Amino acid sequence: MHLKHNNLTSLIKLGLCAFFAVGILAQIQAQDKKADGTWTWSTPGRNGGPDRIMTLKLKTEGDKVTGTLIAPGRNGTTNETKIEDGKLKGAELSFTVTREFNGNKIVSKYSGKVGETIKGKIESERDGETQSRDWEAKRASEAK
């Protein structure tokens, strides 16, 4: 009888460990995906013009992040630029966007903390000077 009790206790312990391991793994995978989706924010328009709505589409796989930044262009067009070097470590997101205007490359480094919003800094170098500004993106509501 003592042997059956030990086997049952061991089986229960093994089952509980498996249950908690699956729960922890599911939680880690959910955290990895918390940056996934479409995010939007606005920036002031040029020369007092209307605000420009920026759209960021992200997808995570482990700590690697891929996606596209969609920005309004001239004459009602849109510019889509792939993000580079995207990383998500815990809640800390970072990526780079390289755009070209009139033969000049402008590299912008985005960093931020992902939660209900993505809130952080954008750093760009222009004319040899680093410029920094805040950004806060909100998750776009999904159309149903």
Q: Give residue 125's identity as a one-letter amino acid code.
A: E
Q: Residue 49 belongs to what domain range?
A: 33-139
Tokens representing 57 are 């589409």
Q: Give residue 104's identity as a one-letter amino acid code.
A: N
pLDDT tens digits for range 18-68: 554 444 433 443 444 589 999 999 988 777 778 899 999 999 999 999 999
pLDDT tens digits for range 109-126: 999 999 999 999 999 987
Q: Whole-angstrom distance between the N-terminal and C-terminal Cα of the chain?
A: 59
* β-sheet bridge partners, residue 84: 96
The answer as to whether 3 is a domain residue is no
Number of domains the chain contains: 1
The answer as to whether 10 is a domain residue is no
Q: What is the DSSP letter of 116?
A: S
The answer as to whether 83 is a domain residue is yes
Check which CATH number belongs to the domain holding 132 and give it: 2.40.128
Q: Give residue 144's pLDDT.
A: 42
The answer as to whether 21 is a domain residue is no
The answer as to whether 27 is a domain residue is no
Q: Give residue 16's pLDDT.
A: 52
